Structure 1
Amino acid sequence: MVSSPWSMLLKLRCVTIDVTGTLIAYKGELGDYYCMAAKAVGLPCPDYKRMHEGFKDAYTNMAKQYPCFGYAEKMPNIVWWKSCVKDSFIRAGYEYDDETFEKVFKRIYSVFGSSAPYTIFPDSQPFLRWVREKGITVGIVSNAEYRYQDVILPALGLEQGFEWDFGVFSGLEGVEKPDPRIYEIALQKAGNIAPEEALHIGDSFRKDYMPAKSIGMHALLLDRFKSPDAENWRKAGALVLPDLVATQAWLTAENSSSQEAASYT
């Protein structure tokens, strides 16, 4: 980012931001929710490690076969997830009859369509409101399906019209990070603004920083969990900050530049 006598904030018309790992985080482990669903219908709790690995493989396979939650195939969201969850159990070594699986799946689908498995970082709502109060448009950019927009974010206190202005969700747009087109869609939704008038904030070098920078946007990364990769991100030229409090301070500092962020990293 180019240094100037003004704060970065004065150069921006739009801030786009990632969701998971940036604004919100998962509570507990995947196994917790799969175990609760199984126990609720009288089944023994699945093995956490096997369940985690099974889900990871099943999700990767579904995302490859039917990207963006089946967007191109017009696959209903619930159908995509049912296939993914069933495959997760099978890969973990659990094969239930259809009636039993249906009961387990309904509980899993319901809980992950609510705010229950998530927690919001305490600095998320104040930061987004502060940005909007400065007259800057806020956009959400996420590899997520429609329930993030319609249910999960509002239930966590992040509402459209209050904390954010527009959303670009892969399940609704048919494009997902790290495809730079998802950021181009965001710029269009922000009012066809120039890339240099926008800043993207995320937690992935590959999915957030690189594609946003590739189309000319400003970008920075949050390292909320002290990732071992953070030092490599810095070496590659990325601005890395610990949280949105430090981001707000950086945005308002005169001569905002990556070097001046050193005190926060």
Structure 2
Amino acid sequence: MCIKGVHLITFDATNTLLRFRIHPWQYYSIVARDYGFKGSENDLKPRLLESYKAVWNEYPNFGKGLISWEDWWNHVVKRTFKGQLPKSADVNCLCDKLINDFKTAKCWRLAEGADKILNMLRNQGISLGVISNFDPRLVEILQNMHIYNKFHFVLTSFDIGCPKPDKKIFDHASIAYENVHPRACLHIGDDIEKDYKAARNAGWHALLVSNQKLKDKSVAAKHVFGNLYELHDAIYNDKVKL
């Protein structure tokens, strides 16, 4: 009931430990109705996705070193709803509400099996961390999900100053945690490039949690699990092969 040679295990946050309770564009649509929004969530989805991408390209990593992360999200929200609200709408108030609501269980839930696998690993004496492309709200979100105290550290791309797949964020984690050797570190996430390949490029072991059919031949089938329950059972039964 262990992974031989591994002393530190880190998890990605979004779509690994955490899941959206409803899609962000759905929640944006619901909240924005109080501000005069008349469109549909289907109208909003491409607008939100395009806005996020455009603002990230202009101000990478939630605006780190350029603008505040709150202003970064203000840009996303205002771009998403441009031309979609009456002129009398208090858009700044809408921005503040969305930023604050996305700290809470209104918008987030634990991924299936998250509690179970974290408890098992803690009981084994494994040190746990989080490495995620996220703004500083992540700590509060993990607290609100009642799992923050299960981790020895939480590293966000905003705090470290570089997002995955940059290996520096993994280097920082292994050095910060008592200078543990990369080969004694394992990262678990859902994204092939930002989690699986990025961790391996940093000299770490990596596992992928995804129920999507993978076409990338560089991902070993033995490293892929459909969900955290599957991964929990594989670890418990000593079936994980790194």
Is the shorter-chain TM-score for this pair beyond 0.5, marking a shared fold?
Answer: yes
Shift of 1:79: 1.1
Residues 9 and 234 of structure 1, relative CA distance in 2, 3 Å threshold? same
Query: 3-state SS of the aligned residue for 1:11?
Result: coil
CA distance in 2, matches of 1:207, 1:96: 39
Residues 68 and 170 in structure 1, CA contact (< 8 A), matched pair in contact too:
yes
Residues 139 and 190 in structure 1, CA contact (< 8 A), matched pair in contact too:
no
With normalisation by structure 2, the TM-score equals 0.90
Query: 3-state SS of the aligned residue for 1:49?
Result: helix
**Percent identity of the aligned residues?**
24
Question: Which residue number corresponds to residue 142 of structure 1?
Answer: 132
Where does structure 1 lack aligned partners over 5 or more consecutive residues?
1-6, 259-265
Question: Which residue number corresponds to residue 196 of structure 1?
Answer: 183
1:42-121 matches, within 5 Å, as: 43-73=36-66, 75-90=67-82, 93-97=83-87, 100-121=90-111
Whether 1:155 and 2:144 are equivalent positions in the alignment is yes
Residues 139 and 47 of structure 1, relative CA distance in 2, 3 Å threshold? same
Shift of 1:108: 1.6
Residues 124 and 76 of structure 1, relative CA distance in 2, 3 Å threshold? same
Question: Which residue number corresponds to residue 12 of structure 1?
Answer: 6
Query: RMSD in angstroms over aligned alpha carbons?
Result: 2.1
Whether 1:172 and 2:159 are equivalent positions in the alignment is yes
With normalisation by structure 1, the TM-score equals 0.83
Whether 1:211 and 2:198 are equivalent positions in the alignment is yes
CA distance in 2, matches of 1:235, 1:13: 25
Specify the code of the residue in structure 1 equivalent to 2:142.
Answer: L
Residues 89 and 9 of structure 1, relative CA distance in 2, 3 Å threshold? same
CA distance in 1, matches of 2:185, 2:226: 20
Residues 36 and 45 in structure 1, CA contact (< 8 A), matched pair in contact too:
no
CA distance in 2, matches of 1:215, 1:172: 19
Whether 1:183 and 2:173 are equivalent positions in the alignment is no
Shift of 1:15: 0.2
Where does structure 2 lack aligned partners over 5 or more consecutive residues?
none
Specify the code of the residue in structure 2 equivalent to 1:257.
Answer: K
1:223-262 matches, within 5 Å, as: 223=210, 226-229=211-214, 232-233=215-216, 236-238=219-221, 239-254=223-238, 256-257=240-241
Residues 235 and 83 of structure 1, relative CA distance in 2, 3 Å threshold? closer
Shift of 1:233: 4.2
Residues 13 and 105 of structure 1, relative CA distance in 2, 3 Å threshold? same
Query: 3-state SS of the aligned residue for 2:9?
Result: strand
CA distance in 1, matches of 2:29, 2:220: 42
CA distance in 2, matches of 1:121, 1:177: 21
